C-alpha cells in the first residue's frame, strides 16, 4: 500500500482501515469476493437482489460491465423481464468488485457458469459499459448483437442509457 505522506489524514485513514480489517470489522463482502446466493428480485435490466446462502440480508447488486436501458426507454422492460425470467429464484455465483455511489454492490453474476452480463449484451438487452477510453468488457459481444440485429439493435438508432439519463433523467 502506497501512502502519500503529504496528506497525514489520508495515511491515518489507511492505517485505520488496515487495523479494522485485521480485527475483522470490515464488511464481509470485499473486493473480488466470491459468494453464492439466490436471486430474489430483479429491479431492472442491470440491477437485482441476491440473498446470500449464509443467511445474511439480501444484497442489491448492479451488474458490472453493462448498462441496460432504463425501464421507461425502449427495451427497458424487455431487459428487466428477460433477466428476471433467466435468474429469478436461481442459485448464482456473485463475483463482487466494489460498492458504487448508490450503495449497490458492483458484481458479475454467473448462473451455471454463464456470465449473465455477457448474456444480456449478446441478446441485445444491454450495452457494454463504456468508461473513459474503453469500450467495456463486452464490446465484442455488443458488436455481434449489433451485427445480428438482436434486441434493441432492431431500432434504427438506440439511445445508450447514459445519454438517455442525461437528456431525460431517471425514470423514477
Catalytic entry in 59, 70, 80, 108: 70
Q: Which of 62, 80, 108, 142 is catalytic?
A: 62
Active site annotation includes 104: yes
Q: Round to whole Å and give the CA distance between 35 and 29.
A: 8
Give me the catalytic one of 59, 104, 108, 142. Answer: 104
* Contact predicate 79/45, CB 8 Å: yes
Distance CA 12, CA 34 (A): 29
19 burial type by CB count under 10 A (0-12 exposed, 13-18 middle, 19+ buried) = exposed
Has 7 been annotated as catalytic? no
Catalytically active residues are 62, 70, 104
Amino acid at each position: 500500500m502506497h501512502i502519500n505522506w503529504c496528506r497525514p489524514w489520508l495515511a491515518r485513514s489507511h492505517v485505520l482501515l488496515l487495523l479494522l480489517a485485521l480485527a475483522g470489522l470490515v464488511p464481509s463482502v470485499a473486493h473480488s469476493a466470491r459468494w453464492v446466493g439466490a436471486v430474489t428480485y430483479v429491479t431492472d435490466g442491470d440491477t437485482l437482489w441476491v440473498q446470500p446462502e449464509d443467511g445474511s440480508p439480501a444484497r442489491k447488486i448492479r451488474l458490472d460491465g453493462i448498462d441496460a436501458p432504463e425501464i421507461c426507454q425502449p427495451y427497458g422492460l424487455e431487459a428487466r423481464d428477460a433477466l428476471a425470467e433467466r435468474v429469478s429464484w436461481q442459485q448464482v455465483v456473485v463475483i463482487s468488485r466494489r460498492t458504487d455511489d448508490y450503495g449497490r454492490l458492483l458484481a458479475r453474476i454467473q448462473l451455471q457458469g454463464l456470465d449473465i452480463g455477457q448474456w444480456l449484451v449478446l441478446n441485445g438487452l444491454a450495452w457494454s459499459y463504456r468508461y473513459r477510453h474503453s469500450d467495456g468488457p463486452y464490446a465484442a459481444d455488443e458488436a455481434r448483437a449489433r451485427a445480428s440485429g438482436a434486441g434493441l439493435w432492431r431500432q434504427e438508432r438506440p439511445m445508450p442509457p447514459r445519454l438517455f439519463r442525461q437528456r431525460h433523467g431517471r425514470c423514477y
